């Protein structure tokens, strides 16, 4: 690193906790106790959790749901998939439909469930990386248990047609459970998830503190718990409720959604500026469609593996990802390969993710560094006189 100020362009991996979340957490540490305790302080803490959960659902525009608190979206996705499979497989429901754009915490549980008798299909995508609803409809069988399609792709920013998909499933296949991993959605797009049966969230993706997430459940859907033993706020996930984290998550969502139009416009401006800049470089291809959420911009660099690009910028104190942060063991982006039809482009793709916190000065430094990077072909700048 060259000693200059660090630049963070990896907000889709995690966001810094906002002041409101930190303050709420800190204050709660001195005032809340174990919500499982029968004494008055325990009952008061349980009441605070109930109020926070109701506000969380209200902020999301959801009604008559249960909030199952988890350690994050990875646990929520595992609970949704494994919990439903274990509950409904004995009744003849073992077929799962998902898509290649999904996070590894969806794909990996599906793979595990296949060893236990599940079958699955990958829903085809259209030319812009969105699930083809007509083709997905044709995959549904009498034994189909669940359709799991994420709201926003964490690698490409593609927004899936979850509203349309939810309406189709509710109208035509009411016995099929619809799960969506909405981790990347809050603050990035307005989405109506009224027809989703299970919704996964993680606070650290919307300026909350790491270690808390949720699976939001329609009450008609039951699950087999994956964490058992001891009371909690729910039958479906045991353990002492982390009241401080729960309250801070609601505070983070409240702040994320405050003044969202201004924040969105700011990120859109940054995204458009970066897209125009990248057009000047021969062979650089932007993989994120124009209608993707502006917070995520995926592009491929000619002739240079993604890991080498990332390492070069890392030395410059500029930080972004090659894929999702949870997919480091994979040598290329399956999502980008599905979108572009090219494994080579997928192996050279990187993801810059932006925030309303991103400054013009940070963008200038990134673009200046990118010019030098392209001039030296990804090699050490000292060897090329740059």
> Is 29 a residue of the active site?
no
Q: φ and ψ at 327, to 5 degrees?
A: -125, 35
| Torsional sign, CA 253, 258, 260, 266 | negative
With vertex at residue 319, the alpha carbon angle to CA 314 and CA 322, rounded to the nearest 5 degrees, is: 90
* Given the residues 29, 84, 326, 376, the one annotated as active site: 326
Tokens of 253: 């969502």
The answer to whether 189 and 158 are in contact (CB under 8 A) is no
Just list the catalytic residues. 326
């Amino acid at each position: 690193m060259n000693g200059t100020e660090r630049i963070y362009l990896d907000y889709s991996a995690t966001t810094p906790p906002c002041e409101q979340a930190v303050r709420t957490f800190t204050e709660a540490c001195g005032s809340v106790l174990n919500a499982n305790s029968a004494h008055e302080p325990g009952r008061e803490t349980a009441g605070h959790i109930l109020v926070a959960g109701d506000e969380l659902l209200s902020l999301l525009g959801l009604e008559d749901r249960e909030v199952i608190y988890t350690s994050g979206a990875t646990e929520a996705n595992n609970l949704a998939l494994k919990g439903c499979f274990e509950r409904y497989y004995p009744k003849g429901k073992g077929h799962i439909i998902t898509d290649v754009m999904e996070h590894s915490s969806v794909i990996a549980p599906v793979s595990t469930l296949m060893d236990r008798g599940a079958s699955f299909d990958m829903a085809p995508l259209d030319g812009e990386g969105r699930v083809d609803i007509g083709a997905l409809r044709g995959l549904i069988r009498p034994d189909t248990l669940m359709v799991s399609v994420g709201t926003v792709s964490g690698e490409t920013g593609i927004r899936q047609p979850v509203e349309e998909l939810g309406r189709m499933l509710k109208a035509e296949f009411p016995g099929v459970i619809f799960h969506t991993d909405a981790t990347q959605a809050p603050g990035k797009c307005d989405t109506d998830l009224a027809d989703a049966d299970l919704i996964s969230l993680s606070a650290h993706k919307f300026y909350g503190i790491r270690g808390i997430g949720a699976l939001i459940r329609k009450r008609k859907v039951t699950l087999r718990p994956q964490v058992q033993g001891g009371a909690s706020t729910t039958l479906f996930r045991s353990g002492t409720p982390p009241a401080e984290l729960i309250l801070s998550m609601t505070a983070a969502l409240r702040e994320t959604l405050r003044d969202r139009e201004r924040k969105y416009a700011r990120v859109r401006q940054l995204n458009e500026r970066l897209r125009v800049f990248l057009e000047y470089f021969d062979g650089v291809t932007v993989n994120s469609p124009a209608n993707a959420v502006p917070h995520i911009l995926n592009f491929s660099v000619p002739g240079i593996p993604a890991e080498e690009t990332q390492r070069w910028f890392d030395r410059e104190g500029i930080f972004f990802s090659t894929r999702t942060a949870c997919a480091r063991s994979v040598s290329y982006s399956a999502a980008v390969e599905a979108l572009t039809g090219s494994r080579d482009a997928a192996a050279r793709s990187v993801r810059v993710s932006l925030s309303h916190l991103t400054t013009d000065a940070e963008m200038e430094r990134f673009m200046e560094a990118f010019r030098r990077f392209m001039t030296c072909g990804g090699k050490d700048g000292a060897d090329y006189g740059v």
